[in-house]
Amino acid sequence: MAYAHVLIEDPRDGTKYRPGDEVPADLPGFDELVEGGAINKKKYDPEKDRVVVPAPDVIEIDGVVYEKKASDNSEVQSDAR
């Protein structure tokens, strides 16, 4: 048994396999999907496979720079640059 670890669409009929769904071995490109990690023999665990990306320390939007404070992680606005 193999399980999807990402959303996979079967090009033959448009069937979508969501993370955790069983994927048939005759799916086109099956070996390449296994090699790339999209399909795995281990059952999908959303908590284990979750990737947490931290917020950046500095964000610039329309020329306004927002910086994260070091002490309490709140944002402050700065026009200096």
Could you read off the pLDDT of 31-60 as tens digits, one per residue? Answer: 999 999 999 998 888 777 677 778 888 999
Residues above pLDDT 90, as percent of the chain: 57
CB 26 within 8 A of CB 17: no
Distance CA(79)–CA(81), nearest Å, equals 7
Token pair 């069983």 is found at: 22
Task: Please give the single-letter amino acid code of residue 66.
Answer: Y
pTM attached to this predicted model:
0.57
